[in-house]
Amino acid sequence: MVEENNPVNTVLERIRTEVRPLADGRVADYIPELAHADPNIFGIAAISAHGRRYVAGDVEGPFSVQSISKPFVYAIAVEEHGFDTVHDHVGAEPSGQPFNAISLDEHGRPANPMINAGAIVTTSLIKGEDRFERIRSMLSACAGRELSVNEDVYRSEAEAGHGNRALGHLCLAGGALVGPVEEAVQDYFRQCAVEVTVTDLAVMAATLASGGVNPVTGKRVLNRRTARHTLSIMAGCGMYDRAGEWGLRVGIPAKSGVSGGILAAAPGAFGIGVFSPPLDHAGNSVRGVAALERLSEDYDLHMLQLPTEPPSPLHSVSCHGGSLGVHLRGEIDFLAAEQVVSRLAAAVEDARITSVVVELERVSGFSDAARALLAAELTDLADAGIEATVSDPRGVQGAN
C-alpha cells in the first residue's frame, strides 16, 4: 500500500529535491552493461516496520542489485552452517579498502563478507546444485516478489570479471573458498545481476530491520539472530572504506552496490532504498549517501540515538489490602525487567504486603533475559513468604 499525501512522502520528496542537484560522481563502467545507466534517475523508497510504503521520484525502473546481494548471501550461509563456521572462512572487520581489494587476513580469510572476495567465499559455502536458485529465492522472499536475473548484465560481468576470478583463486589458495572457483564466481555474477527496483530494496531492508520478517508479506524469511548478525556486519563493513564516516554521519546499517543502489535498514523502524547511478570514489551512490544522511537526521534514525527517557514498563501499581498489583506494559527487555524487579523487591521491605500479582495484559513481548530476571525475583518473593503470581492472559511470556 502506498501512502499518498502524508508527511513522510513530503519529507522524502523534499530530500530528493535538495539532493537532486548534486552532479558529482561517475556511473560505473567497468562492467560495460552498467555504463548505459541514466545518471539522472533518482528514487527513494521507505517501508515502515508495519509494512507501509513511502516513495519519492523514480521508484519503478529496474536495475541490477550488485553488491546489495551480499548481506543476503551471507545470511543464507549463516543459516546453513552457523555463525562460527562461516567466520572460519571470512572475517568480520572493516577492510578499510575498496570493494574489489585483494583482502586476506593472516588466516587467509577475506576481511568481511561485504567486499567481493568475502562474498565469493560466502557464495562458495552455500551447498547444493541449486545454489543460485536458493539465493534468488531468498532475495525474492525478502523483496516480497519473484526477482530474476538481467542476463545482459550477467553476461557483461561474466566476460569482464577477471579481477573477481583472481580473488576467487586467491581465496581458494588460502583455504577460505570451498569448491570450484568458476562455479562460485558464476553464481556470484548471477546474484549481482538480479534485477530490483528501489521499492524492492526498501522491502528487503525492512525485512532485515524487522528481525527477519518481511513486514509487507508478513512471512518470516530469516531467523531473528541471523538478521541481527547481518545488520551487524552491514553496520561495520557495508559502505567499504567509508564505513567509519558512514557510522558517524548516518548510523544506519547499510549496503551499497555499484549500479547506484543503497539499502539501509534502521532496526525496528524503516527499510530504505535509494537509487542514483553516479558513484563517489568508494563506489557509493553520491545522491544516495546525501539522501540517507538527511533522512537519518530528519527522522532520528541513527542506531545510537538514545531516547531521552526509556519508556517505563510500569503501567500502574495498586495496593488493596495486603495485595500488590503491578501492571506492566510494552516490550519487557532486560532494562525494563530490571525496573520491575527493583519495584517488586521493595515489597519485601513492606510488612503489610502478603501477595504480589504481576499483570501482563498490556505487555507486547518478553525477552529471554527479562523472563529469567522476573522468574528469579518471583522465587525470591516466595522465599520471603510473599505469594507471587503472574497473570498472563495473552500468553506473552511463553511467546518469542
Q: How far is the CB of 167 from ligand GLN (least distance, A)?
A: 9
Written as one string, the DSSP assignment of 11-36 is HHHHHHHHHTT----B---SSGGGGG
Residue 111 touching ligand GLN (CB under 6 A)? no
Residues 173-212: x where in contact with ligand GLN by CB under 6 A, - otherwise, as a string = -------------------x--------------------
Q: How far is the CB of 266 from ligand GLN (least distance, A)?
A: 22
Per the structure block, which three cell numbers stand in for 297? 537526521
In the three-class reduction of DSSP (H, G, I as helix; E, B as strand; rest coil), residue 316 is classed as: strand
* CB nearer to ligand GLN: pick between 49 and 160: 160
Q: How far is the CB of 157 from ligand GLN (least distance, A)?
A: 5
Whether 70 sits among the annotated catalytic residues: the reply is yes
Whether 74 sits among the annotated catalytic residues: the reply is no
Q: What is the DSSP letter of 305?
A: P
Residues 6+ apart with CB under 8 A from 77: 86, 113, 122, 125, 126
* CB nearer to ligand GLN: pick between 200 and 377: 200
Report d(CA 363, CA 329) in Å as an integer. Answer: 4
Report d(CA 12, CA 217) in Å as an integer. Answer: 24
Per the structure block, which three cell numbers stand in for 188? 556470484
CA 330 vs CA 308, 356, 363: distances in Å: 17, 20, 5
DSSP lists the bridge partners of residue 253 as none
Report d(CA 363, CA 378) in Å as an integer. Answer: 18
Whether 30 sits among the annotated catalytic residues: the reply is no
Q: Within positions 265 to 294, which residues make up the interface with ligand GLN, using CB under 6 A?
A: 283
- Select from 48, 112, 122, 164 the one that contacts ligand GLN (CB under 6 A): 164
Residue 135 touching ligand GLN (CB under 6 A)? no
Of 54, 74, 154, 188, the catalytic one is 188
Residue 66 touching ligand GLN (CB under 6 A)? yes
Q: How many helices (H) and strands (E) does the chain have?
A: 14, 11
Whether 67 sits among the annotated catalytic residues: the reply is yes
Residue 99 touching ligand GLN (CB under 6 A)? yes
* Catalytic (active-site) positions: 67, 70, 188, 240, 258
| Contacting residues toward ligand GLN, per CB under 6 A | 66-67, 99-100, 116, 157, 164, 192, 257-258, 283
